[in-house]
Amino acid sequence: MKPIIIANWKMNPGNLKEAKKLFSFVCKKVKNKKAEVVFCPPFVYFSIFSAKFPNNVKIGAQNCYFEKAGAFTGEISASQLADLKCKYVIVGHSERRNYFSETDLTVNKKVGAVLDNKMIPVLCVGETKEQRDRASVQDVLNIQLREGLRDILAVKLLKQGFLVAYEPIWAIGTARPCDVEESQKMRLLIKKILAKLYSQNTANRVGVLYGGSVNSSNAAGYIKEAGFEGLLVGGASLKASEFSQIIKNSI
């Protein structure tokens, strides 16, 4: 499969003009490249995707709500995102879990809502520094995957598509990315857990992305050495030249 490179802009950039400039620059650089490039902008910037852009560029969302509609002030439903031609939805990002008190239960409901609306969930899992120091990484990932996928059938995952993003929380926004060898172990652990939850065939068909201080220097290692099927890029995706180089190095 082509590597999937996701730009998680978070609550950036500061204005629409900057967003358009960034999007336009990267689109010109990645046209016809052998990678699927996914932009996940703030909801208010979705208008920039109304213009034509390369076939290998897709729109994604940073979050959604699991209810179809109703009195949920400030929320956006999965069905509304699907109506905007959204293809991917990030679910359970560590910042959502930390700052907005998302639980495995709400994450599970969101995964189901995304699949029901024929989009691809990107389920984020990962451990804190404290959890890593306690050597409880396997338990953390096992719980996040088991509860995040509770009552969701393999046939549905494989029909719509499904991705797991491993994001070591201790590496996000720091100068300490997870080294390639260690990240490879985490990818294999995630595959092992998925095989236990479903089957080896299902595990083989689910792509695992790496996210956590990704840059143009380490991108190739995560894809070509550690075996990740793609990258979830945060801060570096806001630097047009750097993000374009990450994509180039991942191919």
Catalytic residues, which ones?
A: 93, 167
Q: How far is the C-alpha of 152 from the C-alpha of 113, rounded, in Å?
A: 11
DSSP-assigned letter for residue 177: P
- Token look-up 């990267």 returns 26
Tokens of 37: 């490039």
Dihedral-angle region of residue 47 (phi above 0 means left; psi in -120 to 50 means alpha; beta otherwise): alpha
The number of beta carbons lying within 10 Å of the beta carbon of residue 157 is 21
Q: How far is the C-alpha of 172 from the C-alpha of 176, rounded, in Å?
A: 8
**Is the alpha carbon torsion for 67, 70, 73, 77 positive or negative?**
positive
**Is the alpha carbon torsion for 166, 167, 170, 176 positive or negative?**
positive
Tokens of 117: 């609306």
